[in-house]
Amino acid sequence: MTPASPPPAPAGAADADMVDALRRALPFVSLGPDLLSRVAAIARRESLGPGRRIYNAGDASDDIYIVLSGSVQHTFGAEVGAKDALRILVPFEVFGWAALLEDRPGRLATATTLQHAELARINGEELMQLLSADPAAGQAVMNSFATLINTHYTVPETRARVREVVRLPAASRRALPSAGEMSALQLNLYRISLWLKSPKPYLMIVGFIIFIGLWYYASEVWKLPRFKEMPGPTVVVKEWFNPDPAYGLSVYTPEYYTHIWNSVRRVSIAFVLATALGVPFGLFLGWSPKFREYVFPVFETLRPIPILAWVPLAILMFTQTESSVIYLTFLASFFATALNTMLGVQSIDESYTRAAACLGASKWQVFREVIVPGSLPFVFTGLQISVGVAWFSLVAAEMVSGQYGLGYVINTSYTDVKYPTIVIGMITLGAVGYSTSALVRLLGDHLMQWRVRELALGAR
């Protein structure tokens, strides 16, 4: 028999705490402020002491719950088929989602408070009506519920079919991807939507406007002493998009794209080599104390040497100019990749490796199943740094010994007094470098969906 619960607080206008709690609960994080407030307005607060039964398996499933404080024990019956039958729910986790399933089954689990808990209780039917007011956002929420149920509660997909906000034809429903297939797409779309709804992109645009405005006034209006020889944005834009450029380089000239292609190709080769060699090297540096004792002092001695100091040796070692440029670009990228990978291995809690060893895992299994996955966040942070380092190393190498490339353009333009072309090369370099860093970041998110999901659950 379920103990009687205190009457829920009446629904009313959304309070700021409830809106914040919903924003930090995974299924609702992608909602806009207006719809989020309307959902918060129908949420009812409940306060339960320790050991209170919230519901039993088989009870009617009318409401969903969000833990606001305290903790809740959530236990599935064996017939549900969940891989992990027992879960301890902490603040901002969601349970009671059977109210949103297609066939509206009874409760699939028993939920009990472990300590004094504050809960938000939302009626399933009222929630579906609100989500129907914005079908696109509503369906995104339901897809997040499907991902949550399938991934975090480990319930089979056959038991986790959530209701659709907008009923589609049968053929269209069959074409929809499953919850497991949708998880990567859903998490990436969540991050994009959250970014667009945040002030970040608009502040970024304002930042660019302020920068260009200051550049314009300093060089073309006020003509400050330090800027009087510098080309202003008007001159640069006219030259950049001129079909007949005065200094010979614009978006209409084939040479412009030849320079970009050569730089991208060199960075790509150097970055791939640095990744292929730097990641395994860093893994062994972090994993093997003996290997680190032999190698790390030499590594740290070579790492601070500037790239320009390596130029004479690169020319001596490589007879071809192209090889020397790639080598110089590779060096800086390699050091950044290896160091961050080593730090990633060292950041792993030693208790994980001990636990794996106690369970009978071999050294190779510990390395493959614990060390490599655990270091990935640091590895991809290192790769983002690495690709940026590769770009400025490339420019230095191309200035000294390159033929073609954006660094070559900047250097020769200065020699030939083509100042607008210098700025065109610099801006192009920044845009291409930013794009490559973004691609590395997207690849990291794709390969570490567990990390993206962890950040989403933490509302960071």
**Rounded to whole angstroms, how far apart are CA atoms 77 and 396?**
64
Distance in Å from the first CA to the final CA of the chain: 40
Cβ neighbourhood burial of 274 (10 Å; 0-12, 13-18, 19+): buried
- Name the pLDDT band for 457 (thresholds 50, 70, 90): very low
**Rounded to whole angstroms, how far apart are CA atoms 14 and 122?**
13
* Percentage of the chain lying above the pLDDT 90 cut: 38
For residue 20, the model assigns a pLDDT of 86
**What CATH code is carried by the domain that includes residue 67?**
2.60.120.10
**Do 164 and 253 fall into the same domain?**
no
Residue bearing the bigger pLDDT, 85 or 118: 118
Residue bearing the bigger pLDDT, 145 or 171: 145
- Name the pLDDT band for 381 (thresholds 50, 70, 90): confident
**Rounded to whole angstroms, how far apart are CA atoms 321 and 127?**
66
Residue 104 lies in a domain: yes
Residue 200 lies in a domain: no
**Do 131 and 33 fall into the same domain?**
yes
**Do 419 and 293 fall into the same domain?**
yes
Residue 216 lies in a domain: no
Domain edge (last residue) among 171, 205, 229: 171
Residue 452 sits at φ, ψ, to 5 deg, of -60, -40
Residue 182 lies in a domain: no
For residue 147, the model assigns a pLDDT of 78
- Name the pLDDT band for 401 (thresholds 50, 70, 90): low
Nearest partner of 410 among 387, 435, 427, 390, judged by Cα? 427
The answer, yes or no, to whether residue 344 has pLDDT greater than 70, is yes
Q: Which residues are registered as beta bridge partners of 112?
A: 53, 73
**Do 162 and 295 fall into the same domain?**
no
* Percentage of the chain lying above the pLDDT 70 cut: 86
For residue 189, the model assigns a pLDDT of 63
**Do 321 and 419 fall into the same domain?**
yes
- Name the pLDDT band for 250 (thresholds 50, 70, 90): very high
Amino acid of residue 217: Y
CB 36 within 8 A of CB 22: yes
**Rounded to whole angstroms, how far apart are CA atoms 115 and 70?**
6
Domain of residue 313, residue span: 246-457
CB 171 within 8 A of CB 108: no
CA dist list (Å): 399 to 199, 328, 404: 39, 12, 10
Average pLDDT of the chain, as a whole number: 83
Residue 184 lies in a domain: no
For residue 186, the model assigns a pLDDT of 54
Average pLDDT over residues 226-238: 91
3-state DSSP assignment of residue 347: coil
Residue 2 lies in a domain: no
**Do 396 and 276 fall into the same domain?**
yes
CA 206 to chain centre: 23
**Do 146 and 252 fall into the same domain?**
no
| pLDDT tens digits, one per residue of 419-436 | 999 999 999 999 999 999
Nearest partner of 432 among 402, 403, 407, 404, judged by Cα? 407
CB 282 within 8 A of CB 338: yes
Residue 7 lies in a domain: no
**Rounded to whole angstroms, how far apart are CA atoms 281 and 339?**
9
**Do 346 and 449 fall into the same domain?**
yes
Name all contacts of 303-310 with Cβ < 8 Å and 24+ positions apart.
Answer: 303/335, 303/339, 307/331, 307/332, 307/393, 307/396, 307/397, 308/396, 308/400
- Name the pLDDT band for 441 (thresholds 50, 70, 90): confident
Residue 403 lies in a domain: yes
- Name the pLDDT band for 194 (thresholds 50, 70, 90): low
**Do 158 and 39 fall into the same domain?**
yes
Q: What is the 3-state secondary structure (H, E, C) of 292-330?
A: HHHHHHHHHHHCCCCHHHHHHHHHHHCCCHHHHHHHHHH
CB 339 within 8 A of CB 303: yes
Token representation of residue 13: 């206008």
Nearest partner of 218 among 209, 230, 208, 207, judged by Cα? 230
| pLDDT tens digits, one per residue of 27-68 | 887 788 888 888 988 999 999 998 899 999 888 888 999 999
The answer, yes or no, to whether residue 176 has pLDDT greater than 50, is no
Upper half-sphere CA count for residue 454 (Cβ side, 13 Å) = 6
CA dist list (Å): 343 to 245, 333, 338, 387: 49, 16, 9, 18
Average pLDDT over residues 254-259: 94
**Rounded to whole angstroms, how far apart are CA atoms 110 and 92?**
19
Domain edge (last residue) among 144, 171, 198: 171
Domain edge (last residue) among 145, 171, 197: 171
**Do 165 and 268 fall into the same domain?**
no
Upper half-sphere CA count for residue 382 (Cβ side, 13 Å) = 25
For residue 159, the model assigns a pLDDT of 66
The answer, yes or no, to whether residue 272 has pLDDT greater than 90, is yes
Residue bearing the bigger pLDDT, 153 or 339: 339
**Rounded to whole angstroms, how far apart are CA atoms 99 and 44?**
16
**What CATH code is carried by the domain that includes residue 364?**
1.10.3720.10
How many domains does the chain fold into?
Answer: 2
- Name the pLDDT band for 158 (thresholds 50, 70, 90): low
